[in-house]
Amino acid sequence: MIPFQEIGYLIGSVSFVLGLKMMGQPDSARKGNLVAAFGMGMAVIAALLFDEKGYHVINNIEFIVLAIFLGTLVGTIIAKRVQMTAMPEMVSLFNGMGGLSAALISLIEWRHHVSIDPPGGASMEMALYIPVIAGLIIGTISFVGSIVAWGKLNGKIGDFRFPSQQVINAIVLVAILVTAALNYTEFNASHSSFYFYITIALAVIYGLLFVFPIGGADMPVVISLLNSFTGVAAACGGFLYHNKVMLMGGVLVGSAGTILTVIMCKAMNRSLMNVLIGMAGGNGGGSATSASGGSVREVQASDVAVMLKYAGKVIVVPGYGLAVAQAQHACHELEILLESEGVDVKYAIHPVAGRMPGHMNVLLAESNVEYDKLIEMEHINSEFASTDVVLVVGANDVVNPAAKTDPSSPIFGMPILEVEQAKQIIVLKRSMKAGYAGIENELFFFPKCGMLFGDAKASIQKLLNEVKSL
Kindly list the catalytic residues: 397
Residues 338, 314: contact at Cβ < 8 Å?
yes
Q: 282 — phi, psi (to 5°)?
A: -70, 155
Measured CA distances, 296 to 219, 315, 397, 451, 463 (Å): 29, 21, 17, 7, 20
* CA–CA distance, 159 with 157 (Å, rounded to integer): 7
Q: Find the farthest-apart pair of alpha carbons in the chain and give their distance in angstroms, rounded.
A: 89
* CA–CA distance, 73 with 70 (Å, rounded to integer): 5
Tell the burial category of 451 from Cβ atoms under 10 Å away from its Cβ (0-12, 13-18, 19+).
buried
* CA–CA distance, 374 with 346 (Å, rounded to integer): 7
CA atoms within 13 A on the CB side of 159: 19
Tell the burial category of 263 from Cβ atoms under 10 Å away from its Cβ (0-12, 13-18, 19+).
middle
Q: Which residues are CB-neighbours of 462 under 8 A, at least 6 positions away?
A: 301
Question: At 115, which amino acid appears?
Answer: S
Angle at 244 between CA 240 and CA 246, to 5 degrees: 70
Residues facing residue 376 across a β-bridge: 349
Our separate counts of H helices and E strands in the chain read 17, 9
* CA–CA distance, 246 with 135 (Å, rounded to integer): 13
Q: Which residues are CB-neighbours of 342 under 8 A, at least 6 positions away?
A: none
CB atoms within 10 A of CB 153: 26
What distance, in Å, lies between the first and last C-alpha atoms of the chain? 76
* CA–CA distance, 107 with 110 (Å, rounded to integer): 5
Angle at 42 between CA 36 and CA 139, to 5 degrees: 65
Closest CA to 28 of 38, 18, 37: 18
* CA–CA distance, 411 with 432 (Å, rounded to integer): 19
